[in-house]
Structures are given as C-alpha cells and as structure tokens.
Structure 1
C-alpha cells in the first residue's frame, strides 16, 4: 500500500473516532449546534472513503485506454467531497430552522463540551498532518480532505464557544442560530473545493510561480538551441505535464538536438517530481522570436 493510501486509510479511521465522539456529545446534550458538528463528521467519513478509493484508482499505471494515467481520479474525489459538504450544510440548516421554532437548553453541557473538545483536538492534529503530506506529495484528494478538516476544526471551536454561551445567557435560540452559521461556513468551503477541483479536471495550468520556474529551467539548460515557444503546462492530480517547441539550428544533427532535450528533461525532473515532458524539435526557420529565450 502506497504512502498516500496509508494516509487515506488512517483518515477513515480517525473520521470514525471523531464521529463517535461528536455523536455522543449530541446524544447527551440534545444540542442542535452539536448535531450540526456531528453531521459534518459524517461527511468527513464519507469523503475520506471517497479519497481512499480515488487514490487507489489514480495510482494505477497507464494502460491502452488511459495512456496518460489515471491521475485525475483524485479530482473526482474532491468534487464529491464538495457536493457532500453542500448536502450536509442544507441538512444542518433544516435542523437549525426547526430548532429555532422549538428551542430548548442543552442537557449535560459539561459532558458535551468535553466530548466535542476531544474530537476537535484529534481533528486539528490530523488536519495539519493531512495538509503537510498532501502538499508534499501534490495529492488533490488529501489536500481537499485536509481543507475540509480545517473547516471542521474552525466550526467546532465556534460551536464550543457558542455552546458555553447558551446556558450562560439563558437564550436557547442561540443554539440553532449557531448551527445555521456553521452550515453557511461549510457551504462556502464546499463551493471552494468544487471550484478548485473543476479547475483540475479542466486542465488548469499550475500556479504562476511554477510556470515561471519551468520557463527559467528551460532557458538555462537549452544551450545550443535558439528558442523555445508555445510552452503549455497543466496539472492532473500529482502529475505536471509540460510541452513546448524547441527551435535548433537547421544544420544541427538529430543526435545533438536529442542531447539538449535530455538535458532540459533531466533538469525539470530533478526540480519537479512526477513530471511528464514532451518536446517538439523544429529547425530555425520555425522560430517565432517569442516565448523562452535561451541563455
């Protein structure tokens, strides 16, 4: 089992533990706000399972039907997670509405705070781990899972603060109002996840700093060539695809041009893991005098 799959499997286990703690917190208190937190944890478990299966698919090698690999499967996981977050937020809004119509003070508030607080601490620690590993391994599925947990941690802290204020103020309507605010917050997060994932499915380019670094490496290691133009890049899961046209002197041999291409590819692969590079070599008559200037 790969490192990414191990992390995804651990996310499922941790999600179940957190769900059990938050479910218990709602059970002993009857708080609508704590119910909203528990509902979000159900989505966490479902999303973690989706990420696990997506990582299994994305790790498969290229085949005849998928010659560029299966890396985009991770984006489907992130889109699904965004959809699940939207469904959860609508469910929470429904519960908050009925809770506002028939408000009541939570029972056993101390036990509820302890259970929910323990779940929040576990989520906070695991969120940091997920984001760190996801960014290091450029995994959209793990990053999406980590961002969702980050939102869960923030909303859980807000729920706990509000939960303390309910018995202090003696205003039971504060509980469903807080649940509604949680729903709006996670709805915004779900929209952000879907927007980023759709960008990946649409072959969006890497961040400008990454594209700039690619241009710099091509310029520095293309000695002997004239120019490079029509540079195009895209992301597919953890993979970065780079392609461009390399213009060389008309009397240069194929072997000499191949040496330049090898040098550029080696430089890009050393700097950027999981990179697929395609270079189209052209004679100097095809020069466009724009694009990447060879140093």
Structure 2
C-alpha cells in the first residue's frame, strides 16, 4: 500500500520513524523479509531489514523489523527555504509467512524552513549548500567566516551588504570597502582613531585624517612587505611598506604617517606617498 508522509528539511531533529509495512500484512501474518527496490538506491543494491541505505537523493532510510521505517534527510535539502518543498520516494517489497509478496512506494514531502546553520544571520539558501569560498573545507552555510578574512560573517553584514559595489557581498569580499587593503589586515574591530562608528574594514579613511586609506597604502608589487628598490641598486629599505615612519602604526591608522610632527590632515604633502628611502 502506497504511503505519504511529510517532514521538515531538518528531519524533526534529523529523522522520523513511521509505520508502513503493517499496512500490507493480513491478519495473523508475520513479516519474513523486506527489501528496498534497487532502482531507488544510490548504491543500486537491495537491502534487508535493519540496514541503513542511502537513497539517490542522499537521504538515509532504514526499514525496521517491526514494520516501521526511519527516514533521515541527511542535510540534502538544506537549500529549501520557508514555504518551499521537495519530494523523495522509495519503494519496498515485503513477503509474509504465506509467501505473499507486496510492493509499495513511500513518498516523502520535505518542507523547507528558514535555516541558519552557522548562526551568522545569513540563511543557508542564500549562502548555498555547495559553495566553499575560502577553500577551507567548510561549506559557506556551515562556515562562520566564509571568505576567510578573520572577520565573522555576522560582523561583515547581511547577504545584501556590498560596500564597494563590486557585486560581492561583504561576507564574501576580502576587501569589503575596496581600499586595496585586505579586510584581514584592517581587522573587524572599530578603532578609536576616528570618531565615526565604521569598523576599519568598512572605513575608507580609518584614521579620519582626510586621506583615503588607499592613498596611505603603498603598493607592494611582490608582496615582500618592504619598500621598493627606488634607485635600482638591488637593495631595499628595511622599513615596512605600510609604516612610513617605522613607529609600528600602519599609515592608514597613523595620524602622522611620515613622523614629521605634522598631522597628516595638516601636512602639506601627506600623500599619496612616494617613498624615497635611502637603500
């Protein structure tokens, strides 16, 4: 006898157990065996009572000797959102003690819910259940830091936050404000350097000196972290690229980047910076 059941994509805490097989047995007949139809299985193998099998959908099913089945969505329907649904089916064959055989199909309706598996405020259906943006082996919908910049997705904002309008939402953008300084460098904590409430990784002028962070950062073509060889004598300055006066504060956080005693906002030549250190 065909049966239909429904379950949420989370499987009512991962699985449900329902009675199906007793519908097919007559009075005083006992269950001798039950098989899942091979065409329904990912492994294309027939199973007997009590063995868990994987359906073609990726869901898990166990047919139990007491005439029930256990169905587990197995996180294969996480892309469903609220008011969305999908169906899954499997067929089974039973034989009683009089060698009567019956085959029937079970149809499962899986109802979507608004899921946020990693608790970052961005629902699974938006983050996607197959994407791994930072390549760390954790899918975005399970990864609290999808772009691997050290700033949690919950801090970087909602799925439609795109500060630099590059079509990448901040939580997938390693340079959210487009100032050419990676978010992992700028960090997620707001600084007291300027009076605004923008976190540095979202602030185009982190120190509030009137000079865009992009101008205060010196391009490092080979990612060496050192100043360029400006006179081509194969020597480079020992000072780091982004800390012009060597005081430990990167230029974009330093109100006096060149250490000349003048605030960058009042310095006649505060930037963009051209470095001519002696080699």
Q: Could you say which TM-score interval applies, normalised by the shorter chain?
A: under 0.3
Of structures 1 and 2, the one scoring higher in RCO (CA 8 A, sep 6+) is 1
